[in-house]
């Protein structure tokens, strides 16, 4: 991601220097990199909404020949996995089915008769066998990802996808299910039990490569999100020894500082030293692989902008930046209108991302724009205090 414009910095990148004028005169042009990408898309004749895959991501995608689905029981792993397998032409492997084939009893029967610890040992062995099958879509049991051994084994070849929904939503799906599945770990107050399991497992789940909120989505839509991310930058995350070390930690390494549950959706909050440089990985994990439109004020751009821009560049993100004057005068409808015009000029799409760097006025301004432009765009807030 590069800032476009008039002068040159010491690295030779084109820059726009913010001028102390009225807010409406501080508009930024799209970066040259974005303009070049548009010309290339027109020559290739690809539809505007099609997933764009860089050469690096093509290579990563070719190396990733498994997609593994993790998440709470009832979230929709089997139904989504069946759609993915059909779209990719890969076999679907359900680890619960493999347990039944190997033991002659269902997971529910094993848990009820032999206890959960005994079942987990069997499941760990079955997961290791499933991980050897390439290519494949693998739908795991709800607790399979709690095993450090299984996390590392599954992570060796696969893109790991966490299918997430609120306990209330999952409870509704379980009640509506007509497959007759027994779920002994959900006995009693269904929603309360799901909340307990969510609290116990979310840290482990959060180490998946891709976080897929499924709230209000049909399995077809969830599968499409995964395929779009797999064809974008998420596949590039599925590799590296440090990732495998992290997956193999017991207990799991610390995940997000918090998960905000609005009742209709959920989103993570990460806090930590060096998080600015990790923004590209966080975007990939959330499946946000479109163009990034950075909104920032002059002071924050001078203090932190270079670190973020270099990180986004290294992460393979296309982008453009819009710098506003610092302070409350920028929180006006006229400034929002100028940003609308900039996004329209840049041909921003709904799958692209608005990134607010700095919080405060910029966070409010970017939030309003993201909520209202094109009937809503993904928004990522990156406060610096």
CB neighbourhood size of 108 (10 A) = 16
Percent of the chain at pLDDT exceeding 70: 79
Domain assignment of residue 36, yes or no = no
Tens of pLDDT, residues 26-37: 444 334 333 333
| Whether residues 230 and 177 fall in one domain | yes
Determine the straight-line distance between the first and last CA of the chain, rounded to whole angstroms: 23
pLDDT of residue 251: 66
Tens of pLDDT, residues 140-192: 999 999 999 999 999 988 999 999 999 999 999 998 876 657 788 888 899 99
What's the structural domain count of the chain?
A: 2
| Whether residues 227 and 301 fall in one domain | no
| Whether residues 213 and 308 fall in one domain | no
| Whether residues 93 and 189 fall in one domain | yes
290 contacts 355 by C-beta, under 8 angstroms: no
Domain assignment of residue 24, yes or no = no
Can you tell me the mean pLDDT for 84-97? 96
pLDDT of residue 234: 64
- Asked whether the bond before 382 is cis by omega within 30 degrees of 0, the reply is no
What's 107's domain CATH number? 3.40.50.300
Domain assignment of residue 164, yes or no = yes
| Whether residues 264 and 307 fall in one domain | no
Q: Which residues of 140-158 are buried (b: 16+ CB within 10 A; e: fewer)?
A: bbbbbbbbbebbbbbbebb
Domain assignment of residue 226, yes or no = yes
pLDDT(337) > 90: yes
pLDDT(338) > 90: yes
pTM: 0.71
Lowest-pLDDT range of 51-65, 160-174, 299-313: 51-65
Can you tell me the mean pLDDT for 281-286? 88
Q: Last residue of a domain, which of 217, 233, 268? A: 268
pLDDT of residue 255: 76
Q: Tell me the pLDDT band of 68, cut-offs 50, 70 and 90.
A: very high
Token pair in block for residue 308: 């973020």
- Asked whether the bond before 251 is cis by omega within 30 degrees of 0, the reply is yes
Can you tell me the mean pLDDT for 263-275? 84
Q: Last residue of a domain, which of 237, 268, 299? A: 268
pLDDT of residue 245: 76
| Whether residues 323 and 241 fall in one domain | no
Domain assignment of residue 35, yes or no = no
What's 361's domain CATH number? 3.40.50.1970
Tens of pLDDT, residues 107-146: 999 999 999 999 999 999 999 999 999 999 999 999 999 9
| Whether residues 229 and 138 fall in one domain | yes
| Whether residues 193 and 102 fall in one domain | yes
Tens of pLDDT, residues 347-371: 999 999 999 999 899 999 999 999 9
pLDDT of residue 65: 86
Range of the domain at 312: 290-383
| Whether residues 183 and 302 fall in one domain | no
Most confident among 17-31, 140-154, 276-290 (mean pLDDT): 140-154
Domain assignment of residue 13, yes or no = no
Q: Tell me the pLDDT band of 5, cut-offs 50, 70 and 90.
A: very low
Higher pLDDT: 145 or 244? It is 145
83 contacts 223 by C-beta, under 8 angstroms: yes
Domain assignment of residue 222, yes or no = yes
Mean pLDDT of the chain: 82
pLDDT(1) > 60: no
| Whether residues 250 and 348 fall in one domain | no
| Whether residues 221 and 156 fall in one domain | yes
Lowest-pLDDT range of 20-24, 66-70, 138-142: 20-24
Q: Tell me the pLDDT band of 239, cut-offs 50, 70 and 90.
A: low
Give 332: exposed, middle or buried? Use CB within 10 Å, 0-12, 13-18, 19+: middle
| Whether residues 186 and 306 fall in one domain | no
pLDDT of residue 107: 94
pLDDT(260) > 80: yes
What residues form DSSP beta bridges with 292? 319, 353
CA dist 98 to 220, 289, 317, Å? Answer: 24, 34, 40
Cα of 295 vs its chain's centroid, Å:
21
pLDDT of residue 341: 97
Domain assignment of residue 140, yes or no = yes
Q: Tell me the pLDDT band of 247, cut-offs 50, 70 and 90.
A: confident
Q: Tell me the pLDDT band of 375, cut-offs 50, 70 and 90.
A: very high
pLDDT of residue 52: 39
């Amino acid at each position: 991601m590069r800032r476009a414009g008039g002068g040159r910095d010491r690295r030779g990148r084109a820059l726009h220097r913010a001028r102390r004028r009225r807010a409406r005169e501080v508009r930024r042009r799209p970066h040259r990199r974005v303009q070049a990408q548009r010309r290339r898309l027109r020559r290739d004749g690809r539809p505007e909404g099609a997933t764009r895959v860089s050469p690096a991501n093509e290579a990563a995608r070719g190396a990733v020949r498994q997609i593994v689905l993790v998440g709470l029981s009832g979230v929709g792993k089997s139904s989504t996995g069946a759609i993915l397998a059909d779209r990719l032409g890969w076999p679907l492997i359900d680890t619960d089915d493999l347990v039944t084939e190997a033991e002659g009893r269902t997971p529910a029967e094993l848990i009820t008769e032999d206890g959960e610890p005994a079942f987990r040992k069997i499941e760990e062995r079955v997961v290791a066998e499933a991980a050897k099958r390439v290519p494949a879509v693998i739908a795991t049991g709800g607790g399979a990802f709690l095993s450090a051994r299984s996390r590392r084994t599954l992570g060796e070849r696969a893109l790991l996808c966490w299918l997430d929904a609120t306990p209330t939503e999952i409870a509704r799906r379980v009640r509506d299910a007509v497959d007759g599945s027994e779920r002994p770990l959900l006995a009693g107050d269904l929603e309360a039990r799901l909340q307990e399991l969510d609290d116990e497992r979310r840290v482990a789940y959060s180490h998946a490569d891709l976080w897929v909120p499924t709230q209000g989505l049909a399995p077809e839509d969830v599968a499409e999100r995964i395929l779009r991310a797999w064809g974008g930058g998420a596949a590039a995350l599925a590799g590296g020894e440090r990732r495998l070390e992290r997956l193999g930690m017991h207990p799991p390494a610390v995940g997000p500082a918090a998960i905000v549950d609005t009742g209709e959706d959920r989103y993570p909050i990460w806090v930590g030293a060096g998080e600015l440089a990790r923004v590209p990985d966080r975007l990939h994990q959330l499946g946000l692989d479109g163009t990034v439109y950075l909104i920032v004020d002059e002071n924050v751009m001078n203090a932190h902008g270079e670190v973020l821009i270099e990180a986004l560049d290294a992460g393979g993100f296309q982008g453009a930046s819009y710098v506003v004057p610092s302070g409350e005068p920028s929180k006006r409808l006229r400034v929002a209108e100028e940003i609308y015009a900039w996004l329209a000029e840049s041909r921003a799409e709904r799958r692209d991302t608005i990134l607010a760097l700095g919080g405060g006025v910029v966070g409010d301004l970017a939030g309003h724009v993201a909520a209202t432009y094109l009937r809503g765009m993904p928004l990522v807030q990156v406060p610096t205090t």
